[in-house]
Amino acid sequence: MKTRPHFEDAHVGDAIPTVSKVVRREEVKAYADASGDQNPLHQNDAFARSVGFPGIIAHGMFTMAHVVKTVTDWIGDPAGLLAIDVQFRAVVFMDERLEAGGEVKAVDPQSRRVTLSVWAAVEREGKRVLAVKNSTAEVQLD
Partner 1 sequence: MPLNKALVGKEYPPLTMEVDREAVERFADAIGEDGAVFHDAAAAKVAGFPEQLAPPTFPTRMQIAVSASVAADPELGLDYTRVVHGEQAFEWLRPVHVGDVLTAMPRIADVRARGPLEFVVVESEIRDAAGEVVLRARTTLLSRGTGTSES
Strands 113-124, 15-22: pairing kind: unpaired
Cβ of residue 3: shortest distance to partner 1, in angstroms? 14
Cβ of residue 28: shortest distance to partner 1, in angstroms? 9
DSSP one-letter code for 73: H
Kindly give, in sequence order, each residue whose CB lies less than 8 Å from that of residue 85, ignoring residues fewer than 6 positions away: 135, 136, 137
Binding residues for partner 1 (CB under 8 A): 1, 21, 27, 30-31, 33-37, 51, 60-62, 64-66, 68-69, 72, 78-79, 81-88
Cβ of residue 82: shortest distance to partner 1, in angstroms? 6
> Rounded distance, CA 135 to CA 108, Å?
19
